[in-house]
Structure 1
Amino acid sequence: MTKPPSDDTLTHSGLEAHHGGRILLIACGALAHEILTLKRLNGWDHMDLTCLPAKLHLYPDKITEAVAEAVENNRAAYDHIFVVYADCGTGGQLAAKCADLGVEMIAGPHCYSFFEGNDAFAARGDDDMRAFFLTDFLVRQFDAFVWKPMGLDRHPELRDMIFGNYTTLIYQAQTEDPALLSKARACADRLGLAFEYRFTGYGDLKTSLENQASKY
């Protein structure tokens, strides 16, 4: 079974795989735990996983190039490649590149949408316009992916300026974990935001991978 990747390296499994119904998932490292769990629970042994560093979300202009490189490096070894990135701030560039490369990608503007379900997320519309979202991964990595990159560890006085237009922190939980729930509440307190808990499970990530798994 593929081991979860670190945030600093491009890790992958199954590079020695040959044609015979093999599927490669090229995913954001922030989704590694969830994808590996779904693979294990569903017995998707014909799927391999390549994860790009989760920190690319801090530099969305670099995502498209990194995904394209991963596709080209692995294309010959697999029957099918599925990109487990939503648009993720690329302004449509990732979708255009995937179309050029002839590979599919998960639908949605970002992981907050597909975890909740793209239709359900869209239906909420303006209700969530002033919400800041965290997933299981971002709760675990709050300091590394939110607090420090925004400079709040060095300049906590910036908090109200950065988050002044937000009213609520919404924790979209993939798992029912009391420790993560407690930490998410603490994150909301640190940001000075009201707290809302939504158990989403895996949402459209699960259904999208089910669809891919059934193809081969």
Structure 2
Amino acid sequence: MAPALIIACGALARELTAVIGANGWQHVQVQCLPAELHNRPEKIPEAVRAKIHAARGRFAHILVAYADCGTGGLLDRVLEAESVERLPGAHCYEFYAGTPAFMALADAEPGSFYLTDFLVRHFDRLVIRELGIERHPELASQYFGNYRRLVYLAQHEDAHLRALAEQAAERLGLAFEYRFTGYGDLERSVIRFQRGALSDPSAE
């Protein structure tokens, strides 16, 4: 079977590996870019393009496991030029929650800050340290002053992660809301990608 590649944000590595393992897809590989790129979204499109070019000739099928992720459509321009599909939605929060549920959350409270399992695990590194709040606590009010609540979109029902998410909300001075999503549209999109690869005659 022809090898297939998922080029992914590092924040999705654990979940993608779990989906692939659960389905026994030994021909599907995952290559990740650093999750820290979310703090510099303008760098995501060219980083993804470089991964695609490096994979050409070695993989018959490629999926990009990013949403738009703050690139303002620039990632889609790269993927259109490269004829590669990505996950649907504007943010990973959207495909975890599902678009209707995510839009309802955003409409109910536009000032929502979202965490996933990955972001809960790495909250101190990716939020507190990366944004300089550890050195300058006063920056928290500047970054999060317009937010009203923290919504934890959980991929696993884990009491420890939930407690850490509640602590994060308290640290930022935000109301806390918990939603269990599982893998949501992430899993469904990967399964569709796999089916598409299998139905392609060149995959034989």
Per the normalisation by structure 1, the TM-score is 0.88
Aligned counterpart, 2:116: 135
The correspondence of residues 62-211 of structure 1 with structure 2, limited to 5 A, is: 62-211=43-192
Task: Name which of 16, 33, 36 aligns with 1:35.
Answer: 16
Give me the whole-angstrom Cα distance separating, in 1, the residues matched to 2:105 and 2:140: 26
* 1:50 alignment partner, SS class: strand
Q: Does residue 60 of the first structure (1) align with residue 26 of the second (2)?
A: no
Superimposed CA distance per residue, residues 115-153 of structure 1 (whole angstroms, 9 cap, x where no aligned partner): 101232124442131110000000000011101122111
Which consecutive unaligned segments of at least 5 residues does structure 1 have?
A: 1-19
* 1:76 alignment partner, SS class: coil
Give me the whole-angstrom Cα distance separating, in 1, the residues matched to 2:63 and 2:97: 20
Displacement over 6 Å in runs of 4+: none
Superimposed CA distance per residue, residues 132-180 of structure 1 (whole angstroms, 9 cap, x where no aligned partner): 0000000000011101122111111222232111110000100011110
Q: Does residue 213 of the first structure (1) align with residue 194 of the second (2)?
A: yes
Distance 1:22 1:88, change over 3 A: same
Number of equivalenced pairs: 197
Give me the whole-angstrom Cα distance separating, in 2, the residues matched to 1:211 and 1:191: 38
Amino acid in the other structure paired with 2:97: E
Distance 1:102 1:87, change over 3 A: same
Q: CA deviation at 1:59?
A: 0.8
Aligned counterpart, 1:13: none
Give me the whole-angstrom Cα distance separating, in 2, the residues matched to 1:120 and 1:198: 10
Give me the whole-angstrom Cα distance separating, in 2, the residues matched to 1:187 and 1:194: 10
Q: CA deviation at 1:46?
A: 2.1
Identity of aligned residues (%): 49
Give me the whole-angstrom Cα distance separating, in 2, the residues matched to 1:176 and 1:26: 27
